[in-house]
Amino acid sequence: MSGWDEGAVFYSDQANFPQGDPDHGSITKHSSQRKFKEFIRSYNGLRGDFSYRESLLHNQNHLQVAMEDLDFFDGELSEKIRKAPAEYLPLFECAAAEVLVGLKSKVAGDGGEMEEPDPGEVQILLTSKEHPASIRALGADYISKLVKISGIIIAASRTKAKATSVTLVCKNCKNVKVVACRPGLGGAVMPRSCDHVPQPGEEQCPLDPWLIAPDRSKYVDQQTLKLQENPEDVPTGELPRNLLLAVDRHLVQRISPGTRVTVVGIYSIFQAGNGPQKGAVAIRQPYLRVVGMEEASESNSRGLTSFTSDEELEFKEFARRPDTYQAVCKLIAPSIFGHDDIKKAVCCLLFGGARKKLPDGVRLRGDINVLLLGDPSTAKSQFLKFVEKTAPIAVYTSGKGSSAAGLTASVIRDPSTREFYLEGGAMVLADGGVVCIDEFDKMRPEDRVAIHEAMEQQTISIAKAGITTVLNSRTSVLAAANPPSGRYDDLKTAQENIDLQTTILSRFDLIFIVKDARNHQRDMQIARHVVTVHATAGAVSKDSENKDQDNWLRRYIEFSRSRCSPRLSDSAATLLQNNYVRIRQQMRQQSNETGESTPIPITVRQLEAIVRISEAIARMQLSQSATEEHVTEALRLFHVSTLDAARSGITENLTITPEMRTEIQQVETQVKRRMGIGSFMSERRLIDELVRMGMNESTVRRALIVMHQRDEIEYKRERRVIVRKA
């Protein structure tokens, strides 16, 4: 020790101790480590057991600690971790490692073995029941402090090796030096000179003489994640904010994109390598060094911890009411007049059926998909907005502004590392919830095809840029669309009005045709209802009552989905299969009579749809068995939606006035004059020629319908070509 014999004064860290007992007042690092060891050894849980000691023996590489337990044990110690986690967490981990060595020695001594156990590293994982902070609220005041935030993981990098200490070798004198690395995304500070004192005849070591010995350095696994704030927390008109997370050791490769998490970590900063601010010395990029992570789904599925006993009692009493199904459906979009069957379908979508896994590994979805197709101003978008607000997890998007990558997933290159990584889209972010797609008909066909797999298999397969993976997309789809002409045209067939591919239509469990019926009495009722809604919109009591109802419905949906997984009873299964065979037979007869296939095929997918709807109705009543009553209601909903949509379009008995009959006869005469028996012509060309002669296009279409019903003409090539038969 240089200077020891020169009268210099040497001192230890004891000056930091307060006067008197070090356990009183402000505590030092030495006493903190001692208290951490005491906490792990002696803390008694609610059940009177030594929970942390037992947990450490069971999982020897990590220990999960609740901040509330630390608060109860020593509030000042807990406050130190909150304000200076980077200094006190390493002490906590050292204390845990020392306690583990002592426990191992005791166990080895009891077993008769006298081997000295090796001290290993123990990772401390913190959890907290505090309310999470918003990503937008994190500023400079939070740097180096412990924070808790929540959001969705949208991207995950590959696992890398992060050095905890780097071994340096001097290339001149072969002197070895070990340099510690800063945790998180920090690096090591390389010394400029070698501290070897040259002997007589030796050369002085030059500047920067060090060579890194990678194989002699120590490493831990590290992964970077990108956390985006929850969609429901994003203010209107704002882009969602995201934050970089750094996880290491036990937390690596635990989370995949699309997972909702709650994170406890140290708000830190690092110097960005590339980008427009590369030369800005004083600018640092924020990130979160994660010291605790919990999946939102895990916290929701714990049962008793998520719901109070009063809530459970209230929900069970509500489920025992004879009118539970009607009462729940009344809470769906109360501001929308009528549309009772659509409200019931939306209610089934929110509750969902039971997800199943077969013995051979095949998974059957329980989520229900609903399509609303019809005239504008029939409250389709209002239903979507209500579901986005009510569902526990929901993402709202418009078909016109959504691409295939935005809905499923995209592969992006990191500008700093030039590494490809995966970023989840809307259907990945809504995993476990609902995706609301407005303007579904405005999507490009190739973008619509991209969600086929997500709607049925509930996965998204990616094979791009060397990344081959499968993401979960266990979500319901609620879509709204308009017919090609803007309004639903009764003079067109169902295939012409529902201008969507059969492959996408078969994936919807319920398809509703929403028409704007012109009825004086109904118009008066709607007008009275809308005016009343606008007049009472500012009432504070009404708004608060609606918010309470929405919150109660959301909690009831969460409770029923976590506690109830209904299955079909034997009698209900028999009833369902008999009705399915009858429906198939009716649709086959209809196709034979009209000579055209229905736009919505009735297949096994529709049979599974009725099963899911029956289970959803049973789940509303917290019933573990779907009975014949539930199947009967599900069949009724299926008839008034999908079956009616398949049979919609041209009516068999057209209402024709005498004046209209004269005009139709004139059109028939012109059609027969232009087309001989057996000849064919494009429908569009024929209509355009007759319109140029001064005839009304609507009358021309009606005349063609009448001639088709009399079997005088026949449609071919998807109704684009007309062939005259008689």
CA distance 349 to 510: 10
CA distance 365 to 608: 9
For the chain, what's the residue count? 726
Residues of the chain with CATH 2.40.50.140: 135-193+206-291
Residue 15 has pLDDT above 50, yes or no: no
Residue 570 has pLDDT above 70, yes or no: yes
- Domain at 11-127: CATH architecture: 2-Layer Sandwich (3.30)
pLDDT digits (tens, 9 = 90+) for 576-614: 888 888 888 887 777 665 555 666 778 888 888 899 999
Residue 366 has pLDDT above 50, yes or no: yes
Tell me how far apart the 2 most distant CA atoms of the chain are, in Å: 126
Tokens of 573: 């299964």
How do beta strands 210-212 and 242-248 pair? unpaired
Residues of the chain with CATH 1.10.10: 658-724
The pLDDT value recorded for residue 110 is 53
Protein fold of 658-724? Arc Repressor Mutant, subunit A (1.10.10)
Residues of the chain with CATH 3.40.50.300: 309-647
Residues of the chain with CATH 3.30.1640.10: 11-127
Residue 622 has pLDDT above 50, yes or no: yes
At residue 652 the predicted structure's pLDDT band, cuts being 50, 70 and 90, is very low
The pLDDT value recorded for residue 18 is 42
Protein fold of 309-647? Rossmann fold (3.40.50)
Cross-strand bridge partners of residue 66: 127
Read off the pLDDT of each residue in 220-237 and give the average, rounded to a whole number.
81
Which residues have CB under 8 Å from 219's CB, separation 6+? Answer: 161, 162, 163, 164
Residue 533 has pLDDT above 50, yes or no: yes
Q: Cβ of 523: how many Cβ atoms within 10 Å?
A: 12
- Report the candidate in 387, 304, 289, 300 with the shortest Cα–Cα distance to residue 343: 387
Protein fold of 135-193+206-291? OB fold (Dihydrolipoamide Acetyltransferase, E2P) (2.40.50)
Read off the pLDDT of each residue in 235-259 and give the average, rounded to a whole number.
82
Lowest mean pLDDT among 109-123, 389-403, 508-522, 597-611: 109-123
CA distance 505 to 492: 18
> What SS3 string covers 301-349?
CCCCCCCCHHHHHHHHHHHCCCCHHHHHHHCCCCCCCCCHHHHHHHHHH
Residues 289 and 186 sit within 8 Å (Cβ to Cβ): no
Burial 689-716 (b: 16+ CB within 10 A, else e): ebeeeebeeebbbbbbbbbbeeebbebe
Tell me which residue has tokens 């209900």. Answer: 572
pTM: 0.69
Residue 45 has pLDDT above 80, yes or no: no
Residue 299 has pLDDT above 50, yes or no: no
- Report the candidate in 473, 443, 293 with the shortest Cα–Cα distance to residue 369: 473
The pLDDT value recorded for residue 12 is 41
Cα dist. 55→49, 62, 623 in Å? 11, 9, 38
Residue 555 has pLDDT above 70, yes or no: yes
At residue 23 the predicted structure's pLDDT band, cuts being 50, 70 and 90, is very low
Mean pLDDT in the chain?
Answer: 78
pLDDT digits (tens, 9 = 90+) for 479-514: 888 887 777 766 666 666 777 777 888 888 888 888
